[in-house]
Amino acid sequence: MIFKSKNTDLNFVDGVGFLTFPSLSELDFVRHAFSTRIGGVSTDEFKSMNLNFKRGDDPEKVTENYKIFCKATGFDYNTLVSSSQDHHVNVRCVTSADCGIGIFREHDMPSVDALVTNEPNVTLVTHYADCTPLYFADPEKKVIALAHAGWKGTVGKVGEATVEVMTEKYGCDPTDIVCVVGPAIGFCCYEVDTPVYEEFASLTELKPAYFTKSLGHGKYMIDLKETNRRMLLEAGLLSINISISDVCTKCNSGLLYSHRASGGKRGGLIAMMAIK
């Protein structure tokens, strides 16, 4: 396995591999990570750090993976709060009262694809396998958020919805917000048919020529990360505060679970972030 990136770090602690992003590593008030397949106890198509309870893996192994992952990355297992995402654009504000939801307590937040908090000791967890992770951190107001943007969430502007909640409920100024558009299926690999292309082509305010390419015969390539970047600029973020990971999940399917590369037989990756 060869990992090449100009802007994403691959770290190993106690045999657990995880990714971090320099622009968030520079912020000393947050802890963040993006998981890889390396260092867990799951087997077969879940090999080995599967962090998704809903893919058919043994739940005890998934729980063990969470504990191993938290120990290696410095997060507190008892503070995890997981989204119950299903490609909607609902944003939920969470507190310490929500700790354990989706991990060792039942999900009580259906259709939530983005989580926001301003409390320390609350670790946000969102799930991926080709979809786009959006990390948000406001160093002024000390507010963080994670959003899951697949193609539906991207077209539905879940990132903009997250910025609106940070602004309206927590008083954040969008020009202060630092954002990382994390590892996802890249422009190199994300091929779609006409109906999905038309959804992206309808985002005329974002100038779709910058994130769509026709291959002919009703096939198109879509750049999910660039679509999200342009949407975040529209939401008021500054270009200098947005970083895009150059890591494609499908090109790196030995390191990262990719829905497309595996034909759907796969475990799940997570983004994690907490205020220290």
Compute the least distance from the CB of residue 181 to Zn ion, in Å.
15
**Closer residue to Zn ion (CB): 172 or 185:** 185
Q: How far apart are CA 92 and CA 80, in angstroms?
A: 14
Q: Are 200 and 229 in contact, with CB atoms under 8 Å apart?
A: no
Beta strands of the chain (E only): which ranges? Answer: 9-13, 16-20, 30-35, 80-82, 90-93, 112-117, 123-128, 132-138, 143-149, 178-181, 191-193, 212-216, 219-222, 242-244, 269-275
Q: Which is nearer to Zn ion, 167 or 253 (CB)?
A: 253
Q: Closest distance between Zn ion and the C-beta of residue 34, in Å?
A: 16
CB of 246 to Zn ion, least distance (A): 10
> How near is the Cβ of 209 to Zn ion at its closest, in Å?
21
Question: Site residues (CB under 5 A) for Zn ion?
Answer: 186, 188-189, 248, 250-251
Count Cβ atoms below 10 Å from residue 176 Cβ, excluding itself. Answer: 16
Least distance between Zn ion and beta carbon 252 (Å): 8
User: Looking at beta carbons only, is 235 or 261 nearer to Zn ion?
Assistant: 261
Taking the least distance from each CB to Zn ion, the nearer of 59 and 263 is 263
Number of neighbouring beta carbons within 10 Å of residue 111: 13
φ, ψ (nearest 5 deg) of residue 110: -65, 150
CB-count burial class (<10 Å; 0-12, 13-18, 19+) for 263: exposed
Name which of 159 and 186 has its Cβ closer to Zn ion. 186
Grouping H, G, I as helix, E, B as strand and the rest as coil, residue 92 is strand
